[in-house]
Amino acid sequence: MRIIAGKYRGRNLKSLPSLQLRPTSDRLRETLFNVIAPRIEDSRFLDLCAGSGAVGIEALSRGAHHSTFVDRSRKMCGLIETNLDLCKIPEGQTNVVQAEAAEFLRQALRRTPPKFSNRKSEPSEHLDTWDIAFFDPPYATDYVQVLALFGAETSSLLSETGLLIVEHHHKKELADAVGSIIRSRILKQGDSTLSFYEAKKNAS
C-alpha cells in the first residue's frame, strides 16, 4: 500500500494482515481523489473506520489542512500512528481517535472531547465540522446509524458545502436520501462502489 500522489507520493504504508481489514485499493483511492481533487486543498478531512489511515494520509499528501482518523481498534490506531510517523506528518495536522464511528460522531455533535491517541492535538482540532468525510465500515450493519447522524436536520458534522463519501459493496443498497443529505453521485469500480452525499440544497 502506497501514497499515490502529492507531498508524500511513493511512501509505502504498513498494514496488518486481517480478515476484517478490507483496505481501499490503490486504484479505487486514485479514482476517489481524482473526483474530489478540487475540494482537497486546505480541507478538513475525516477518515472513519480508517484502518491503516491510507485515505486520510492521501488527503494530507494532496493538500488537506487536517485529517482526523477514527478506528475502533487500538491496534489499528497504533498502525495509523506508525504510518503518520513514517511519512513524517506534523502532529498538528492530525488526530487519531479510538472509537466506534457512530459514537465518535455523537460525541462530535455533543462537542464532547474524545480520547486522543498518543499524538498531541488540541481538542479544538477535532471538534469542528469537516469538509470531506470518508466512511468505509467493515460491517454492513454500520451504515444506517452513521448516515442518519450526518443527515440529521440539526447535524453540524459537515461544512456548508461538505461532502460525505461512503465506500460499500456494489450489491449493498444505500438510501438515495437520508434526512438533510442526498446522494449526488455513484461511482462503481469492480466489486466496490463510492456513494457521494451532500446537503440537498447543494446537490445538482
Topology given in CATH for the domain delimited by 49-189: Rossmann fold (3.40.50)
Model pLDDT for residues 173-199, shown as the tens digit of each residue: 999 999 999 999 999 988 899 999 999
Cβ atoms of 168 and 142 within 8 Å: the answer is no
C-alpha 106: how far from its chain's center? 16
Model pLDDT for residues 91-104, shown as the tens digit of each residue: 899 999 999 999 99
Q: What's the pTM value of the predicted model, to 2 decimals?
A: 0.89
Cβ atoms of 42 and 66 within 8 Å: the answer is no
Q: Which cell numbers hold the place of 155?
A: 447535524
Q: Which helix (H) or strand (E) holds 202?
A: none
User: Which of 88-110 are b and which e, b meaning 16 or more Cβ less than 10 Å from the residue's Cβ?
Assistant: ebeeebbbbbbbbbbebbebbee
The predicted pLDDT at position 16 comes to 74
Q: Which amino acid is at 123?
A: P
Model pLDDT for residues 3-54, shown as the tens digit of each residue: 999 999 999 999 876 544 556 677 888 899 999 999 999 999 999 999 999 9
- Hey, where are the domains in the chain? 49-189
